[in-house]
Amino acid sequence: MRIWASSTLLFNAVGARIAEVGAQGAPDIYEEAVPRLELVARQKLGDTLKLGFKATNLIDPEIRYTQGDRLVSRLRTGRKFSVSIGADF
């Protein structure tokens, strides 16, 4: 019986970007910089069975939208977790 495992930890940071173009001379609305952290793990048991785990948005940063110096809105999207099982025949 072969047993193997793999895991990946991913970090990504996206800089500020335009979320909405300002109208009638108003400044653009920007989504401020947001860091992201994800974990993916896989385990194979034997020749057919595969187990998986994925965790996304582990940092769960506050996402801020600004227009000039003014905070327009802020939100958190929450962490997400999933578990999977599969088989190869």
**7-66 pLDDT, tens digit each:** 999 999 999 999 999 999 999 999 999 999 999 999 998 888 999 999 999 999 999 999
| Model pLDDT, residue 62 | 97
pTM for the model stands at: 0.77
Tell me the sheet residues that pair with 55.
39, 81
**pLDDT tens-digit series, residues 52-67:** 999 999 999 999 999 9
| Model pLDDT, residue 47 | 85
pLDDT surpasses 90 at 1: no
> Whats the size of the chain, residue-wise?
89
Domain that holds residue 49: 3-87
